[in-house]
Structure 1
Amino acid sequence: MDLGIVDLSRLQFAITALYHFLFVPLTLGLSVLLAIMETVYVMTGRTIWRQMTKFWGTLFGINFVLGVATGIVMEFQFGMNWSYYSHYVGDIFGAPLAIEGLMAFFLEATFVGLFFFGWDKLSKVGHLIATWAVALGSNFSALWILIANGWMQNPVGSAFNPQTMRMEVTDFFAVLFNPVAQAKFVHTVSAGYVTASIFVLGVSAWYLLNGRYAELAKRSMTVAASFGLASSLSVVVLGDESGYLSTEHQKMKLAAIEAMWKTEPAPAAFTLIGIPDQQARETHYAIHIPWVMGLIGTRSLTTEIPGIEDLVEHAKVRIRNGIIAFDALQQIRAGGESGTVAPEVRKAFEDRGSDLGYALLLKRYVDDPRQATDAQIDSAAWDTVPGVLPLFWSFRIMVGLGFFFIALTALFFYLSARRMLDRYPFLLRVAAFAIPLPWIAAELGWVVAEFGRQPWIIEGVLPTAAAVSNLGASTVLLTIIGFVLIYTVLFIIEMALMVRAIRKGPEPDDEPEAELVSPSLVAAE
């Protein structure tokens, strides 16, 4: 396998995925915030809430369009750049994506039109239902995509068929309720809610600093601070759940995130900061916090977390088992449909078939894994270690930003409760400058999730290097250049439209005030 093609294909998908994820979090979060704002409008009849919903809805619409355009490109890449992957797991991976398109995206796309053009054509309750349908569709879309992605991290409910040379579904409900997928879904969606909350908080702070639209800005900040505080707290809790599941399903990723080279006595310490050196296999200038990693990773004081070196030794065992499975597979394939294969051969494959993917790691060094030397097996085992330094710091920056968001939203929640939102210009500037930070945290989260899974495209089943299409390096490089140019233009257009809409501010709403539903809501207003 030409590693240049593998690296270029990975780079192309990384660029498009990270660019697409610039829009996803804001779409997820703003859709729910819009539904909350319009719910308050329907319940109170105050036109300011309708004006708020329309204004933030305009920004949602700009972001939504770019998200759809970039997402479609990603799905085509599976067939163009990752054809063997699509062939190998298409029966499993394709099902959630198909359901996402048929159910979630159609729901979202249908009702988003009613949201923008149905204000004067639908009743208040009818339009509110359409807005909530957009929010549900956006979140359902994330659910099915993350079910597919979660299966790549933890391939449950499936089995390899030696006759078809493909992975096939054995239990769809196991795929659907995959604990890794469910944890990724709630964690990712909560991160999107935080992103939208900080965005609304920052833009509203900018309005207050400039003395514009104070009534809209203060109400928007109250909603964003409340929703953002709850969401940022949930991100931490749900992130802890993801770490706990990594201990069971992705031990190497967790060890790399912690730069844990050797297995430590339980409970393991948490490395606060340090400089991981993958060449020397040690972490320089490390500062440790006793017990914390053991409690996070195992939720106990007695369970060990294996270190990188022990996991590499375990990988060597699995590679050797995989070679036996690979040899048995060749004999089964040679037997053809007649099935003239010795029972011991079939048993060898059944016993060690789960390690077949580890034998495929040797394809980087030798065409036939059965001809691999001890040195090649050793090298393939060390290939199971992802880049420790980028994972180590990506995780810590992400977590640090997460705690900053808790502090920021808690502070503005307090200020909103005391009706002091415009008292401290310095804090308003902090909120405005904090707008890009949730995107940095979200992108780093995907770096941890996807880069940390390497060298696997499907954890323990299919190496990334074996999944690419048979393309020329120049072809892939040309498409990368094309994507970068087109996406840069789209990004500039997106930013120009968003800035223009924010500078212009909300449109005046001349709808007369409706009679309020409840005296208690009058008092609240």
Structure 2
Amino acid sequence: MDMAVVELSRLQFALTAMYHFLFVPLTLGLSFLLVIMESIYVMTGREIWRTITRFWGKLFGINFVLGVATGITMEFEFGTNWAYYSHYVGDIFGAPLAIEGLMAFFLEATFVGLMFFGWDKLSKVGHLAVTFLVALGSNLSALWILIANGWMQNPVGARFNPETMRMEVTDFYSVLFNPVAQAKFVHTVSAGYVAASVFVMGVSAYYLLKGKWTNVARRSMMVASAFGLASSLSVVVLGDESGYALTDNQRMKLAAIEAMWHTEEAPAGLSIFGIPDMAAQETHFEVKVPYVLGLISTRSLTGEVMGINELVLKADERIRSGIVAYDAVEKLKVNRADMAAREQFERHKADLGYAMLLKRHVADPRAATDQQILIAAKDTIPNVPVMFWLFRIMAGLGFFFIGFFALAFYCASACKFSKPWFLKIAVAIMPLPWIAIEFGWMLAEIGRQPWAVEGVLPTFLAASSLTIGQIWTTIIGFTLLYGTLAVIEVRLMIATIRKGPVEHHEPEMSRGSAGYAPLPAE
């Protein structure tokens, strides 16, 4: 496989995935914020909460449409750009995606129309139930997608079948309750809740700074500050759980995040700052907090966190074991009744994927030299400096959001969001959740390299047989299309925000009757 084709295929998928992920977090978070706001309307009967819910619902709808449109493209890319991946692991990976489409997306898509057009046709409780089902569908979609992605990070409940030359499901329960997938789900949706809370806070703060729709803005900020505080705490706590999951399933990713070149005496310290140097295999100007990494990743004072160099030696051993499995598979291709080859394969089948790393350097892994095996083992090291800094920026923003929402929660009772300096901060930080979320996605995917499926299928073997020209054509086409959609989406969002929470059937002078007219300066 031409590595230029592989890298361009990765670039295309990364661009489309990152673009799609601009809309997903806001959809996840706004859906449950709408449930909270409408619940208050149903319980109190106050029309202002109906107006608040409908206003944020319009912004949810605009974002929802773009999220759906950009997500469909990614599903097709598995077949167009990653054909061998789809062939090799499609039996496992395709199941969660199919369930997501049949169960979650149809639930979401069916009720979203009722949510927007059923306000005057359904009872209050009935419409609230519809809104809840839309939120449930949105979050279930995320669950099934992350089960699929979690399996790529930690491929449990499946085995390689030498008769079909494909991976097959052996235990769907293990796939469904994969600890990596569960940790990724709760961490990802909590990040979406934070993004939506910051969005609501920022737009509401803009209204307060302009002296417009102040009753709507203050009530929205009160809901968003409480929801955001709980969500930001959840993100950090569940991020800790993700770190614990890495200890058993992706040790190289954990070592790269910490730029830990050598195994330290337990419990390992956590690096706060440093400049990783891959050539010298050391971290310059490193500042560490003792014991913290060991406590996070092993939940003990005695658990060991392996360093990069030791993990390379471990990969070397697994590659050699994988060569034995590869040899057995080749023998079984010739004679499926060869019981000695079958036994040989069963003993070493867990390492078959490691032997396939050698195909980047030699056509037949069985002919690899010691030098080629060592090079393939070193290929398991991801980009350490990128991993190191992506994690620290993401984690730093996570703690920042806790502080921001704690301050917002205090301001809700102490000053009713009347301080201009706080309102300006709320507007200024609106892009930050998306930066943290995109960095988190990059951290997860770059950290998995060189694997498309951890320990099972190298990325360079997963791509389709395309030409460089074909991939560049689609990259340019998607960039132009998505750029146009982005302009349309931003213009629609801005126009809706500028218009404010105005109901189309209400005359201009009647806004005050709903209790949300602009108030004089307070």
TM range (shorter): over 0.9
SS of residue paired to 1:452: helix
The Cα shift of 1:511 comes to 10
Residue 487 of structure 1 corresponds to: 482
The Cα shift of 1:484 comes to 1.1
SS of residue paired to 2:152: helix
SS of residue paired to 1:96: helix
Residue 432 of structure 2 corresponds to: 437
Is the CA contact 2:218–2:416 (under 8 Å) kept in the aligned structure 1? no
Give the counterpart letter for 2:378 in structure 1.
W
Is the CA contact 1:45–1:513 (under 8 Å) kept in the aligned structure 2? no
The Cα shift of 1:284 comes to 1.1
The Cα shift of 1:280 comes to 1.2
Residue 350 of structure 2 corresponds to: 354
Could you give the per-residue CA deviations for residues 345-377 of structure 1, whole angstroms, max 9, x where no partner exists? 211110111101001101111111111111111
Residue 522 of structure 1 corresponds to: none
Residue 368 of structure 2 corresponds to: 372
The Cα shift of 1:512 comes to 12
| 2:25 is aligned with 1:25 | yes
Is the CA contact 1:46–1:513 (under 8 Å) kept in the aligned structure 2? no
Residue 15 of structure 1 corresponds to: 15
The Cα shift of 1:420 comes to 2.8
Give ranges in structure 1 of 5+ residues lacking alignment: 515-525
Residue 472 of structure 1 corresponds to: 467
For 1:78 and 1:270, locate their aligned partners in 2 and report how far apart those are by CA, in whole Å. 37
| 2:208 is aligned with 1:238 | no
Residue 295 of structure 2 corresponds to: 295
For 1:296 and 1:173, locate their aligned partners in 2 and report how far apart those are by CA, in whole Å. 27
Give the counterpart letter for 1:462 in structure 2.
L
The Cα shift of 1:173 comes to 0.7
Is the CA contact 1:157–1:171 (under 8 Å) kept in the aligned structure 2? yes
SS of residue paired to 2:448: coil
For 1:494 and 1:373, locate their aligned partners in 2 and report how far apart those are by CA, in whole Å. 55
For 1:505 and 1:485, locate their aligned partners in 2 and report how far apart those are by CA, in whole Å. 30
For 1:101 and 1:95, locate their aligned partners in 2 and report how far apart those are by CA, in whole Å. 10
For 2:293 and 2:29, locate their aligned partners in 1 and report how far apart those are by CA, in whole Å. 31
Residue 518 of structure 2 corresponds to: none
Give the counterpart letter for 1:316 in structure 2.
D
The Cα shift of 1:513 comes to 8.8
Give the counterpart letter for 2:414 in structure 1.
R
Number of positions where the alignment pairs a residue of Structure 1 with one of Structure 2: 509
SS of residue paired to 2:300: coil
Matches within 5 A, 1:68-467: 68-335=68-335, 339-341=336-338, 343-422=339-418, 424-467=419-462
For 1:474 and 1:38, locate their aligned partners in 2 and report how far apart those are by CA, in whole Å. 51
- Aligned CA distance change for structure 1 residues 512 and 35 (closer, same or farther; 3 Å): farther
The Cα shift of 1:340 comes to 3.2
Is the CA contact 1:276–1:284 (under 8 Å) kept in the aligned structure 2? yes
Could you give the per-residue CA deviations for residues 391-427 of structure 1, whole angstroms, max 9, x where no partner exists? 10000000000011101111111111224311x1011
For 1:125 and 1:296, locate their aligned partners in 2 and report how far apart those are by CA, in whole Å. 44
For 2:488 and 2:373, locate their aligned partners in 1 and report how far apart those are by CA, in whole Å. 50
Residue 523 of structure 1 corresponds to: none
- Aligned CA distance change for structure 1 residues 133 and 511 (closer, same or farther; 3 Å): farther
Residue 65 of structure 1 corresponds to: 65
For 2:90 and 2:227, locate their aligned partners in 1 and report how far apart those are by CA, in whole Å. 38
For 1:360 and 1:390, locate their aligned partners in 2 and report how far apart those are by CA, in whole Å. 26
Is the CA contact 2:19–2:70 (under 8 Å) kept in the aligned structure 1? yes
Give the counterpart letter for 2:223 in structure 1.
V
Is the CA contact 2:197–2:224 (under 8 Å) kept in the aligned structure 1? yes
For 2:46 and 2:448, locate their aligned partners in 1 and report how far apart those are by CA, in whole Å. 50
SS of residue paired to 2:264: coil
Instruction: Say what the alpha-carbon RMSD is for the aligned residues.
Output: 1.2
For 1:368 and 1:459, locate their aligned partners in 2 and report how far apart those are by CA, in whole Å. 21
Calculate the TM-score normalised by the size of structure 1: 0.96
For 1:29 and 1:490, locate their aligned partners in 2 and report how far apart those are by CA, in whole Å. 21
Give ranges in structure 2 of 5+ residues lacking alignment: 515-522
Could you give the per-residue CA deviations for residues 433-471 of structure 1, whole angstroms, max 9, x where no partner exists? 111000000000001111100000100000001101111
For 1:157 and 1:287, locate their aligned partners in 2 and report how far apart those are by CA, in whole Å. 40
Residue 35 of structure 2 corresponds to: 35
The Cα shift of 1:344 comes to 2.5
For 1:104 and 1:420, locate their aligned partners in 2 and report how far apart those are by CA, in whole Å. 39
Out of 482, 494, 514, the position equivalent to 1:499 is 494
For 1:74 and 1:261, locate their aligned partners in 2 and report how far apart those are by CA, in whole Å. 36
For 1:417 and 1:151, locate their aligned partners in 2 and report how far apart those are by CA, in whole Å. 45
The Cα shift of 1:142 comes to 0.4
SS of residue paired to 2:309: helix
Is the CA contact 1:47–1:511 (under 8 Å) kept in the aligned structure 2? no
For 2:350 and 2:258, locate their aligned partners in 1 and report how far apart those are by CA, in whole Å. 27
Which moved further from structure 2: 436-445 or 484-493?
A: 484-493
The Cα shift of 1:493 comes to 1.1
Calculate the TM-score normalised by the size of structure 2: 0.96
For 1:42 and 1:395, locate their aligned partners in 2 and report how far apart those are by CA, in whole Å. 42
- Aligned CA distance change for structure 1 residues 105 and 512 (closer, same or farther; 3 Å): farther
SS of residue paired to 1:164: coil
For 2:148 and 2:337, locate their aligned partners in 1 and report how far apart those are by CA, in whole Å. 37
Is the CA contact 1:91–1:169 (under 8 Å) kept in the aligned structure 2? yes
Residue 3 of structure 2 corresponds to: 3
Could you give the per-residue CA deviations for residues 53-97 of structure 1, whole angstroms, max 9, x where no partner exists? 111001001100000000000000000000100011111111110
